[in-house]
Structure 1
Amino acid sequence: MSAQSRGTQWRIWDLHVHTPASVVQHFGPNDGATWDRYFAELESLPADLKVLGINDYWFLDGYRRVLQAKESGRLQNLEAIFPVVELRLEMFSGVGGPWKRVNLHVIFDPDIGVETIQQQFINALSNEFALAPGAERASWSGAVTRESLEDLGRAIKNSVPTPELPDYGSDLQEGFNNLVVPLQAVKSLLGKSYLKGRTLVGIGRAEWADIKWADGSIGSKKSVINFADLVFTASQDISTWRNLVEGLRQSNVTHKLLDCSDAHHWSDSVQYERLGRCNTWINASPSFAGLSHALGEFDERVHVGLEPPVLSRIRRHPHHFIDRVRISSSDPSEHKHFNYEVPLNSGFVAIIGNKGQGKSAFLDSVALAGNSSRTGEFAFLNPKRFLSSGNRSAGEYHSELFWADGSERRRSFVDGHDPAGPVQVEYLPQAFVERVCTSDPKSVDDDEFEAELRSILFTHIPEDERAGELTFDALLARRTQSVEDKLATHRRDLKRLVESFLVSCRFRATNWLADVESKIAKKDAEVKKAEADLGAARGELKALEAHGNSNPELTVLRETATELAKQRDSQQANLATLLVDAGELEQHLLRLTSLEQRIEAASDDAVSLNSEAAELLATSPPDTAVEGELVRLVVNRKALADWRARTVRTQASNAASTRSAQEELEDLEERLKSATPCVSG
């Protein structure tokens, strides 16, 4: 088996980069010195940035020069370079300034030759070009060259008032800005044989977003973005990327957003549109097919941020990831069966091949070097095959694992499992899988498979979440017991709440709120009437005193009325106390009833516990047997009955005293009324 590619990896892709040959750029003059610095900066890009898209608007000169540098031995840090053409559509957005037209980016398969792109796309669009509104006073020759665009820009600038010229860019820039093409013409060309299936279309998000969602533009706004395969942005804050993606998704339009640099400046510039300022990670091969695949699985293969989650896991736990596998012999010239090194992908690895092509041999070798405990079930490295007594050279071969943290482990083919060492690779050999998959669900083999799965699951639980347990079953039991304890507590609390609720319901059933309020209102009315009568009597007494304080009869009547009023006030206070005592006695009886119900519930629980204990003890060894009841609840029912009887008697006595007090109060009221007319007379 020869060395193979590691497969798809996470790389940074910046598909929107300008060069010194671009229509708009801030690198400097398009000369040798500027290009030398440009290539040096490309070679100093972040190590993870492996793919560039060279975008110089209509022109491919910059792409040609970068490609030539790559072919001559420079830019070896870059794995792929894509040609990109950016053009303006016959569509305006709501933004002002020179970049007010919607931008369309066409990404070409790098395998397409530069001349093919020039002839089959750029030149083929010549007959479709039109001047943007406001530039009709200029003329257009029909061929896209730097000179023709400069002529167009110069003519446009000559047609505007002199005070407005500072608002315009260079002749080349203004010529480019005012040259537009219809979307349909682009669609038609990209569907022809030379280009069909070999291009991807991107649209600038900022300009597209400024097209108003109005009745007259909503159709064209959706049409142009849904024609695109992806959307470009150059955000100053990458934390907004996910919200932008979701916003596009909710608008039911193309949401595959790539945040690229749109580099017009050197890497040391303070401007955000600078070389190397890109955090778009794509998990794909560095090719046109890889990019197309990644866009098809956008949510899984595209990430914008400092690093994808999988790379974060590798960085935090490098000892969990195998970097590569080496299988060789002590003397490759003498022992030639195995001599290769295979890099492994940190994500997903599939081994494909016909029977007898080494799949089991490779897997057994990896498991052996990882100290798997299932060496007895290896399909290749076993005494019946490669490790047979007739193969004396087996001990000359070894397998070696190189981990992402730089550590390595080497084992000879004749070595077995090391019980004292850690198991670094969990391995389910084919024989084991076949046995458990064809076994009876109630057999030992099925239990073994479940135990293996539990063991693997346990290895993926972080140490700080294992609660000190050593196995999955122990951790599950601890977690389950905790949940059961919480449920039991909640059941007890709920039971108490239900009992309290039932007591309240019974009280309300025998004491309607309207009745209680009616009685209170009646007593309030009686008290108010008595107070009014008392006031009237006192007034009459004062009047009599004014007419004749020396009258002995009046003096006696006044003293009698005063004494009756005192007795009435005292009796009212006594009655109020008796009513309060009656309410407290009623609440006392209700609480006593609740307590009796809880005692009965506890008695039921004790019976249930004794029943469970009896079942458990019935299966226990003889020396662990327990005689009698395990739980015994003693209830002094006589004391409880006496307590209730005393309370009921007290309640009856209180009721009698209340009736007597009410009768005495009524008698006093009558006597006070009788005294008042006499005084009046």
Structure 2
Amino acid sequence: MISRGSEWHRWEPHIHAPGTILNNQFGAADPWGSYLTSLEGLTPKIEAIAVTDYYVTDTYEQFLAHKAAGRLPDVKLVFPNIELRLDVAAKSGFVNIHLLVSPEDPDHVGEVKRILKRLQFGAHNDRFDCTREELIKLGKRSDTTITDDGAALRHGATQVKVNFDQLRKVIHESEWAKKNILIAVAGGAGDGTSGLRQAADATTRQEIEKFAHIIFSSSPAQREFWLGQRGVAIEELRLRYDGCKPCLHGSDSHDQKSVGQPVDNRFSWIKGELEFDALRQACIDPEGRAYVGEQPPRSAMPSQVISHVTIDDAEWATTPDIPLNPGLVAIIGARGSGKTALADVIAAGCDAITTPGWDADENISPSFLARARRLIGEATTTLTWGGGATVTRALDGNDANGHTSFPRARYLSQQFVEELCSAKGVSDGLVDEIERVIYESHSPDDREWALDFAELRDQQTSRFQQAREREAQAIADISDRIATEFEKESLVASLTKQVGEKNKLIADYTADRARLVVRGTEAQVARHTQLSEAAQKLRSTIQNFGNQRRTFVALQDEVRSMRATGSPEMLRQAQARHNNSGLNATQWDEFLLIYKGDVDKSLTAYVNWADGEIRKLQGVPLPPGDPNVALIADTADISTLPLAPIVAEMTRLEALFSADKLVRDQYTALTNRIAQENSALQTLQTRLTDAEGAAARRKDLQSERDDTYGRVF
């Protein structure tokens, strides 16, 4: 059982060992000692090894003997990789195909030898099996001057070529082989299927790749092809090749220098337990469980995932220390094993349980913390985040939902899901969830950097709300303003906390983005960072102009409303208060309030000015060009440029950071998220400045109210 769930481990799926039949360059002086020492000292460490040799399992069996003697303690899985050469010519040799054999069967060596015995090669008016003894006979028959069995074995291995149709038939006819052998084929041009480029070879190539479960290739382009992300869709892969396939890459070591050292550190990573079944799972889910690269893919940024849960002062917790991994998607266990309890504990540590959730009736609530409220005692939970930060919370909720707290995660509890599925009608929870989905369906630009649905709604409807409020009753008195300033004063601590958390979140995202930088692209990254800062300044300025424009439009509405209803109503009220004046209608018209200047012309000019400034700052989108040619010269003063060319140059630079699409997408996503969080930080800082001035404004308003009371009384 895996305590942390599925994790990425480095595998070496293709490595030869001292004594390998062909091209053995491991040396004569203690080759196994040097070989094993090199493997034990590798970083990152290898935890699963496929010991490779041509046609036989001799070096695999020697490897197991060294493992049994105590070497390679970090290696948890060893299995044979039997390399065969097909009778299909590639660009510079013959196509190599590999039998990856599960070691789960105690007699797997004997069983695979039975499979190899069924593979026969015709030569010299005779047939030879793919076994050690038969290869020696073939070597001596092919060169009668050879008398040494070892030399004959090596020579025989160079002569034999396995017929592809025969191999496919032997595998399909053996239930043991179908259950215990995975087929891998080289994807390169020299000794792989990419070398079959003639039209006449197209069908053969497709049949070989369809027969294989795994492609041995480190090329990002090949990986994207076999995942249905380049050239062909997944449905076409299923039709032509029986589905997507994982790409793996090994060092193919034939000498001590290259042991476990593939070119450009293109290591193979498999997600799952260290057993052969993890390789089978990778064939089912190649995108999620197989990867080639210097580091395994990050499913989430370290600062945004929980790495450990600790429950203290809780005798009822049989497992108080629980490690988690970044890719965790499910908690699995028997009924009553504590799944809901663990979810509740994590939610409590994230400040993600609402006040109604803490106050739920312990007799009917499905929440563990609510049902066990009387037994919780002084238990606490401590969450350790991937970035190293820790937070401790009481499990009875006594420190929850404080004015400085905010949820680090969204908790859709069992109670919440049950309410959504019930027939009680539209609940507050459902409305909140609908609002969240609507908000997140808008891009950051469409949201105009609103922090939540309420702010987005206010932005889009403020004109109409203000018009309605003016029609109904628009103006608040001094006491309301004083109450507002009191509320703002109370927000100082909360906003200060949020600004600090937002700064830390931006720093974490920036650190996460820095980890994605590939060696050799530092100059492009530095230029991208410079452009990103300039873009953020422009977006902030555009946001300010947008706020000004909305204010001008709202003022236009207010002017029209004042003329249409406000001033006439004030005149009618005056007439009612002074009905004995004796003034006629024409005389009363002189009392109608009007604006001193031509406000219509002024406001129209202000709106046009704001639109013009926004257009100048946004600029005109550039047409696609050569990705290797800079759109902005290094000597250009980017502070004078509009947003569109800067964004286009940033997009061009992002495509150069890495050949790996996943890394590029992560870098782009983090850049966009940093920009969004910076805009949110600016909004928070503006609110904080306003809240910090509330005390002085409140005192002035109280003095004004005292003066008003004096005049009244």
For the aligned pair, the TM-score class normalised by the smaller chain equals 0.5 to 0.7
Q: What is the Cα deviation at residue 470 of structure 1?
A: 3.9
Corresponding residue for residue 163 of structure 2: 182
Please name the residue that 1:210 is paired with.
195
**Greater CA deviation, 364-373 or 244-253?**
244-253
Change (3 A) 1:139 1:327: same
Match of 2:77 among 75, 80, 83: 80
- Is 1:401 aligned with 2:383? yes
- Contact 1:381–1:413 (CA under 8 A) maintained in structure 2: no
Deviation, 1:43, is 1.5
Distance 1:416 1:150, change over 3 A: same
Q: Deviations over 1:487-506 (max 9, x none)?
A: xxxxxxxxxxxxxxxxxxxx
Contact 2:345 2:381 in 1 (8 A): yes
SS for the counterpart of 2:109 is helix
Q: CA deviation digits over 1:366-417, x for unaligned, max 9?
A: 1112222415315999698877899765224222212112222222322331
The letter of the residue matching 1:156 is S
Secondary structure class of the residue paired with 2:308: strand
Q: Verify: 1:95 aligned to 2:81, yes or no.
A: no
Distance 1:187 1:401, change over 3 A: same
Alignment check: 8 A CA contact 1:364 1:380 kept: no
1:507-561 CA-partner distances (Å, limit 9, x unpaired)? xxxxxxxxxxxxxxxxxxxxxxxxxxxxxxxxxxxxxxxxxxxxxxxxxxxxxxx
Structure 1: stretches of 5+ with no match in the other structure: 161-168, 482-605, 635-681
Question: What SS is found at the alignment partner of 2:280?
Answer: helix
Matched, 1:116 2:108: yes
Q: Distance in 2 between matches of 1:427 and 1:42?
A: 44
Question: 3-state DSSP class of the match of 1:69?
Answer: helix
Q: Give me the whole-angstrom Cα distance separating, in 1, the residues matched to 2:129 and 2:370.
A: 79
Q: Deviations over 1:237-270 (max 9, x none)?
A: 667754687468889447635241242245645x
Match of 2:330 in 1: 350
Q: SS state of the match for residue 195, structure 1? A: helix
Look up the equivalent residue of 1:144 and give its one-letter code: T
Partner of 1:222: 206
2:249 pairs, out of 249, 256, 260, with 260
Q: Which digits, 9 at most, give the CA deviation of each residue in 1:266-289, with x for residues without a partner?
A: 5645x9975994423333333332
**Structure-2 separation of matches of 1:383 and 1:123:** 65
> In the aligned structure 1, how far is the partner of 2:417 from the partner of 2:334?
19
- Whole-angstrom CA distance in 1 between matches of 2:175 and 2:221: 41
The Cα shift of 1:320 comes to 0.9
CA shift at 1:328, angstroms?
Answer: 4.0
Distance in structure 1 (CA, Å) of the matches to 2:252 and 2:341 = 50
Say if 2:47 and 2:75, in contact at 8 Å, map to a contact too. Answer: yes
1:144 equivalent in structure 2? 131
Residues 620/7 of structure 1: CA separation in 2 closer, same or farther (3 Å cut): farther
SS in 2 for 1:78: coil
Superposed displacement of residue 102, structure 1: 2.3
Q: Which one of the candidate residues 261, 266, 281 is aligned to 2:269? A: 281
Q: How far did residue 432 of structure 1 move? A: 2.9
Give the structure with higher Rg (CA).
1
Give the corresponding residue for 1:129: 120
User: What is the distance in 2 between the residues matched to 1:342 and 1:232?
Assistant: 37
What TM-score, normalized to structure 1? 0.58
Change (3 A) 1:388 1:154: closer
Given residue 349 of structure 1, which amino acid in structure 2 is its aligned partner?
V
**CA displacement at 1:322 relative to structure 2:** 0.5
Structure 1 Cα separation of the partners of residues 392 and 291 of structure 2: 36
Identical aligned residues as a percent:
24
Q: 1:351-500 alignment to 2 at 5 Å?
A: 351-353=331-333, 356-378=336-358, 394-414=376-396, 415-417=398-400, 418-438=402-422, 444-451=428-435, 457=440, 469-474=450-455
* 1:5 alignment partner in structure 2: 3
Q: Deviations over 1:580-605 (max 9, x none)?
A: xxxxxxxxxxxxxxxxxxxxxxxxxx
Provide Cα deviations, 1:111-137, integer angstroms capped at 9, x if missing partner.
Answer: 123x4333x333444354214xxxx45
| Aligned with 2:307 (options 314, 323, 327) | 323
Displacement of 1:15: 0.9
Matches of 2:52 and 2:2 in 1, distance apart? 33
- 2-side partners of 1:127 and 1:439: how far apart? 65
C-alpha distance in 2, partners of 1:85/1:152?
A: 19
Question: How many residues end up aligned between the 2 structures?
Answer: 472
Q: Is the 8 A contact 1:370 1:425 kept in 2?
A: yes
- For residue 303 of structure 1, what is the amino acid of its counterpart? Y
Cα distance in 1 between the residues matched to 2:403 and 2:174: 65
Is 1:47 aligned to 2:44, yes or no? yes
Name the residue aligned to 2:706: none
Per-residue CA deviations over 1:598-634 (Å, capped at 9, x if unaligned) read xxxxxxxx9xx88994499769997899967997689
Look up the match of 1:581: none
Deviation per CA, 1:632-675: give whole Å up to 9, x if none. 689xxxxxxxxxxxxxxxxxxxxxxxxxxxxxxxxxxxxxxxxx
Tell me if the contact between 2:116 and 2:129 (Cα under 8 Å) persists in the aligned partners. Answer: no
Secondary structure of 2:72's match?
A: coil
Question: CA contact under 8 A between 2:120 and 2:128: conserved in structure 1?
Answer: no
Task: Write the letter of the residue equivalent to 1:107.
Answer: L
Equivalent residue letter for 1:341: D
Q: Structure 2 CA distance, aligned partners of 1:34 and 1:399?
A: 52
Alpha-carbon distance, 1:232 to partner: 1.7
**Alignment partner, residue 198 of structure 1:** 180
